[in-house]
Chain A
Amino acid sequence: MVPISYYLILAAALFCMGMFGVLVRRNALVVFMCVELMLNAANLTFLAFAKASGDVSGHVSAFFVIAVAAAEASIGLAIVIAVFRSRGTINIEEIRTMKH
């Protein structure tokens, strides 16, 4: 059996890659995909811990996370489309509306 630390290291690596993407990518869609990557890293830890402790609550949490991620992705895509319509770009650096 593969020790739990391998899963956790993989999840941490995935999370870091996702976070790196969120921090450096300009394209909002890519940023969304990176967020998904981070969420999946979290899911991986849930599942790993659930398997190790022989408990199903981790699996349930992972489902919830997937559901929320799907909802978030649909709303996020809607926002991105609305922004693209009004501004003609989805470059994050040019959409600094949080200042106001």
Chain B
Amino acid sequence: MDALKQYFMTAPVDPAIFAQSLWLIIALPLLGAFVCGVFGKMLGRGNVNLIACATVAGSFVLSVVAFWCVNHAPPGTTPVAMESAFSTSAIRYAIGYDYGTWFSAGTFRVNFGLMVDHLSGTLLLVITGVGFLIHLYSTSYMEHDESYWRYFAYLNLFVAAMLTLVMADNLVLLFVGWEGVGMASYLLIGFWYSDTAKAWAGRKAFVTNRIGDFAFLIASFLIVLLVGAFNSQANTGNFAAAAGNAETAQVRYREGLQMKGPLAFQGLEVMANALPSAEGTQAAVSLATPIKEGPLEGRTFGGVLTVALLLFLLGAAGKSAQFPLYVWLPDAMAGPTPVSALIHAATMVTAGVYLFSRMSYLLVMSPTAMITVAIIGAITSLLAALIAFAQDDIKKVLAYSTVSQLGIMFMGVGVGVFWAAVLHLVTHAFFKACLFLGAGSVMHGNADETDIKKLGGLRHEMKWTWGTFLVSTLAITGIVPLSGFFSKDAIFHGVHANYLHGYETATHVLYYVGLVIAACTAFYMSRVYLLTFEGKRSPEAKIPHAHESVWQMTLPLVVLAVLSVVALVYALPLMPGRNGMQPVMENFLGPVFASAERIAARGGLVKLDHTLPTLGSYLVAWVVAVSGGAAAAFMYMKFFPSRVGQPAPAFARSVRRFTQNKFYVDEAYEFLVIRPVKNVSAILFKLVDSLLIDTVAVRGTAWVTTRLGSALRYVQTGDAQAYAAVMALALLGGAVYALIQVLQ
């Protein structure tokens, strides 16, 4: 056992050397995208499939090595650490490389720096691993499609952008990936652009995302100003709070700012550490200190930080499909199913969770922002879960379920159980990707039927799909030996136990909301499973017998199903940590969230809890999940089949119609936002465009010139007498003028 452990702790390559090759992880899929996009049509189907899969597989191998390097700590040596440009202490369990200045303007500078630590390493493995499986699945799923090469180019592009997002060591580079995944998802959702509805879905996703991205940008600018203000106001007292030797640390911080710019995560972490939350220390700057100069003059550091974080939340809400910007995700199901699995389950929509985990040290300084994140998560989650109750489209149910699960992750992030949120991100990536791919397999085998009421009884016809779908359904429901149970309940336990100053009641309520969400999840997921796979085949089915998909599709399903079971090793075994025994994942992500822990402990506004869930709370969670599932089983196996032919009561029908129409949220947006904007634009169009610009400005100029020209035409007749007449008139004018002068 020790030998094995030692093997895994000794990287095959020297981490310092491998760090220089980190760019290859991004470059490989990018190259794949280029080759597939430009030469794809000439290369033929087999080659495109090979290139697309091979580049992602290559990225996966490199990610494994990178991950391995991050964990490099053979006995007797120190664990891998990289120098921090911003402070005297090193960054532990991280490798990174700075490829130099990307751009700079004045004192503002952005470097092209990549960094892999335990958080981004975990996500790297998920992105490239799940990404590879989805590429493999796509080779079969898209085999009847004409423009398969375009599809694979987009898919590779998406992976490259997502890897940039995760590996970036500053906010600007992260934003590049953030925008990149947005664009790739737009291209992929609208992949079948000849179908107007699908193209519109892509556009909706794009526009909704842009709203969030705008907030993200403003938040980034606020952070730049904040760092500038901190840099001019902080003294050694501040840096005494952050690092051992205060003066050296201060010098290093300023050097780091010049070298790496204000938006590098390392710098933000140092700043967060140096911002004590209370007065009374020797520090010149605390959260309550007003900013002395610049555009933010008079605002306090804590206030600006809270605003920036709330804007980041709006940005994350756009990308991660949270309330109020979640409306694009269900529509996005118009895209190819593997895309739904890759983008809407495993990677892009979790970017918001990643962002907040990455900036956990900023988040814990503002309980207001934290509780807002948590409440938004809870609202989204509950709303989406309730909508999912009545959806009949198998992919739409999964989409709402994704929105709901993301809400749970946001709850976790919001109350400070970052490790559990990340764990749920990982396990959710496994089982939700498996569910989406399973849904794709079901559609593939049933002539693209997506209505679960017209399926049924697939259990015997599609054995592999059935088995894997069952496993992942149980995982998302939270049945005991599967990973979803542990990740979800770690979050709910954290919600229950963590302490946010001033919001004690809110977190308490959130816990019970969480239990309701868990029951809802169990109910609607069981409903989908039962209607699709159990019972008899629906008489309305398109084809009498479904067929099982080929190995390229079932293999990823099996791998993902296995992963969603074995992922529990991240949560279950306990390891000795700083705060007593803790689950593997918490221990593992410890270095990443160490700053957040320290700041929370120092400030006293937020208290992060490290107790383990008791058997009692596990039991409660389990009973909730099982009862949700059992209710669904009773309703759809016994209750409804026995009532076939009897009309449902009016009340039930109206509730169903209400939920089926997604609580009319889209209509509300239409009424509250889109319609007013359209009307104002119509007025602007009529008044400004048609009248002022077209009529007065454009046609007016032409009219004046024409009139003037036709009037001046008489000046140039070539007729000597006309010229003489002009002269005579001038003479007359002169005479009259002279006469007036004389008479006066």
Q: Do A and B make up one complex?
A: yes
A96 on the interface (CB 8 Å rule)? yes
Q: Are B721 and A96 in contact, CB atoms less than 8 angstroms apart?
A: no
A97 on the interface (CB 8 Å rule)? yes
Per the bound structure, the CA–CA distance linking A95 and B720 in Å amounts to 9
Q: Is the interface of A mostly helix, strand, loop or mixed?
A: helix
Contact partners of B717 in chain A: CB under 8 A: 96, 99
Contact partners of A96 in chain B: CB under 8 A: 717-719
In chain A, residues 42-91, which have Cβ atoms closer than 8 Å to a Cβ of chain B? none
A98 on the interface (CB 8 Å rule)? yes
Per the bound structure, the CA–CA distance linking A55 and B490 in Å amounts to 125
Q: Are A23 and B718 in contact, CB atoms less than 8 angstroms apart?
A: no
B contact residues, range? 10 to 19
A19 on the interface (CB 8 Å rule)? yes
Query: Nearest Cβ distance between residue A35 and chain B, in whole angstroms?
Result: 10
B724 on the interface (CB 8 Å rule)? yes
Q: Are A93 and B719 in contact, CB atoms less than 8 angstroms apart?
A: yes
Interface size on A, residues (CB 8 A): 12
B447 on the interface (CB 8 Å rule)? no
Query: Nearest Cβ distance between residue A88 and chain B, in whole angstroms?
Result: 19
Contact partners of A33 in chain B: CB under 8 A: none
Q: Are B728 and A100 in contact, CB atoms less than 8 angstroms apart?
A: no
Per the bound structure, the CA–CA distance linking A15 and B718 in Å amounts to 24
Say which residue of B723, B725, B728 sits within 8 Å of A98 (CB atoms). Answer: B723
In chain B, residues 202-249, which have Cβ atoms closer than 8 Å to a Cβ of chain A? none
**In the complex, what residue of chain B is closest to A98 when comparing beta carbons?**
B718
A9 on the interface (CB 8 Å rule)? no
Contact partners of A24 in chain B: CB under 8 A: 721
Q: Are A92 and B718 in contact, CB atoms less than 8 angstroms apart?
A: no
Contact partners of B719 in chain A: CB under 8 A: 92-93, 96, 98
Q: Are B720 and A23 in contact, CB atoms less than 8 angstroms apart?
A: no
In chain A, residues 1-32, which have Cβ atoms closer than 8 Å to a Cβ of chain B? 19, 22-24
Query: Nearest Cβ distance between residue B247 and chain A, in whole angstroms?
Result: 89
- Chain A proximity mask over B129-144: 1 for CB below 8 Å, otherwise 0: 0000000000000000
Q: Are A23 and B723 in contact, CB atoms less than 8 angstroms apart?
A: no
Query: Nearest Cβ distance between residue A85 and chain B, in whole angstroms?
Result: 19
Per the bound structure, the CA–CA distance linking A100 and B716 in Å amounts to 10
Contact partners of B725 in chain A: CB under 8 A: 23
Per the bound structure, the CA–CA distance linking A59 and B266 in Å amounts to 105
Query: Nearest Cβ distance between residue B733 and chain A, in whole angstroms?
Result: 14
**In the complex, what residue of chain A is closest to B716 when comparing beta carbons?**
A99
Say which residue of A23, A97, A100 sits within 8 Å of B721 (CB atoms). Answer: A23
Most buried by A among B721, B725, B728: B721
Per the bound structure, the CA–CA distance linking A92 and B717 in Å amounts to 12
In chain B, residues 685-725, which have Cβ atoms closer than 8 Å to a Cβ of chain A? 716-721, 723-725
Contact partners of A19 in chain B: CB under 8 A: 728
Q: Are A92 and B720 in contact, CB atoms less than 8 angstroms apart?
A: yes
- Chain A proximity mask over B333-350: 1 for CB below 8 Å, otherwise 0: 000000000000000000
Most buried by A among B716, B717, B719: B719
Contact partners of A99 in chain B: CB under 8 A: 716-718
Contact partners of B721 in chain A: CB under 8 A: 22-24, 92-93
Per the bound structure, the CA–CA distance linking A77 and B724 in Å amounts to 19
Q: Are A98 and B720 in contact, CB atoms less than 8 angstroms apart?
A: yes
Per the bound structure, the CA–CA distance linking A92 and B725 in Å amounts to 14
Q: Are A23 and B716 in contact, CB atoms less than 8 angstroms apart?
A: no
Contact partners of A93 in chain B: CB under 8 A: 719, 721
Per the bound structure, the CA–CA distance linking A20 and B604 in Å amounts to 106
Per the bound structure, the CA–CA distance linking A24 and B720 in Å amounts to 11
**In the complex, what residue of chain B is closest to A12 when comparing beta carbons?**
B735
**In the complex, what residue of chain B is closest to A19 when comparing beta carbons?**
B728
**In the complex, what residue of chain B is closest to A16 when comparing beta carbons?**
B728
Per the bound structure, the CA–CA distance linking A100 and B718 in Å amounts to 8
Query: Nearest Cβ distance between residue A82 and chain B, in whole angstroms?
Result: 16
Contact partners of B718 in chain A: CB under 8 A: 96-100
Per the bound structure, the CA–CA distance linking A15 and B717 in Å amounts to 25
Per the bound structure, the CA–CA distance linking A23 and B726 in Å amounts to 10
Contact partners of A98 in chain B: CB under 8 A: 718-720, 723
**In the complex, what residue of chain B is closest to A25 when comparing beta carbons?**
B721
Per the bound structure, the CA–CA distance linking A98 and B720 in Å amounts to 8
Contact partners of A97 in chain B: CB under 8 A: 718
Query: Nearest Cβ distance between residue B354 and chain A, in whole angstroms?
Result: 79
Per the bound structure, the CA–CA distance linking A48 and B199 in Å amounts to 95
Query: Nearest Cβ distance between residue A16 and chain B, in whole angstroms?
Result: 10
Per the bound structure, the CA–CA distance linking A95 and B719 in Å amounts to 8
Per the bound structure, the CA–CA distance linking A98 and B724 in Å amounts to 13
Query: Nearest Cβ distance between residue B730 and chain A, in whole angstroms?
Result: 12
Q: Are A22 and B716 in contact, CB atoms less than 8 angstroms apart?
A: no
Query: Nearest Cβ distance between residue A14 and chain B, in whole angstroms?
Result: 15
Query: Nearest Cβ distance between residue B21 and chain A, in whole angstroms?
Result: 79
Query: Nearest Cβ distance between residue A17 and chain B, in whole angstroms?
Result: 13
Contact partners of A92 in chain B: CB under 8 A: 719-721
Per the bound structure, the CA–CA distance linking A96 and B718 in Å amounts to 5
Per the bound structure, the CA–CA distance linking A19 and B725 in Å amounts to 9
Per the bound structure, the CA–CA distance linking A97 and B723 in Å amounts to 13
Contact partners of B724 in chain A: CB under 8 A: 22-23
**In the complex, what residue of chain A is closest to B735 when comparing beta carbons?**
A12
Per the bound structure, the CA–CA distance linking A19 and B735 in Å amounts to 15
Per the bound structure, the CA–CA distance linking A99 and B723 in Å amounts to 11
Contact partners of B716 in chain A: CB under 8 A: 99
Most buried by A among B716, B720, B725: B720
Per the bound structure, the CA–CA distance linking A98 and B716 in Å amounts to 9
Per the bound structure, the CA–CA distance linking A58 and B720 in Å amounts to 31
Query: Nearest Cβ distance between residue A80 and chain B, in whole angstroms?
Result: 12
Per the bound structure, the CA–CA distance linking A93 and B721 in Å amounts to 8
Per the bound structure, the CA–CA distance linking A19 and B717 in Å amounts to 20
Per the bound structure, the CA–CA distance linking A48 and B160 in Å amounts to 103
Query: Nearest Cβ distance between residue A93 and chain B, in whole angstroms?
Result: 7
Per the bound structure, the CA–CA distance linking A24 and B719 in Å amounts to 12
Per the bound structure, the CA–CA distance linking A95 and B723 in Å amounts to 14
**In the complex, what residue of chain A is closest to B723 when comparing beta carbons?**
A98
Query: Nearest Cβ distance between residue A11 and chain B, in whole angstroms?
Result: 14
Per the bound structure, the CA–CA distance linking A38 and B210 in Å amounts to 82
Query: Nearest Cβ distance between residue B45 and chain A, in whole angstroms?
Result: 72
Per the bound structure, the CA–CA distance linking A23 and B724 in Å amounts to 7
Most buried by B among A19, A95, A97: A19
**In the complex, what residue of chain B is closest to A24 when comparing beta carbons?**
B721
A-B contact pairs, 26 of them (CB 8 A): A19-B728, A22-B721, A22-B724, A23-B721, A23-B724, A23-B725, A23-B728, A24-B721, A92-B719, A92-B720, A92-B721, A93-B719, A93-B721, A95-B720, A96-B717, A96-B718, A96-B719, A97-B718, A98-B718, A98-B719, A98-B720, A98-B723, A99-B716, A99-B717, A99-B718, A100-B718
New A-B pairs, 4, CB < 8 Å, besides A23-B725, A92-B721, A100-B718: A23-B724, A96-B718, A98-B720, A98-B723
* 3 A-B pairs closest in CB distance: A99-B718, A96-B718, A98-B718
Which B residues lie at the A interface, using CB under 8 A?
A: 716-721, 723-725, 728
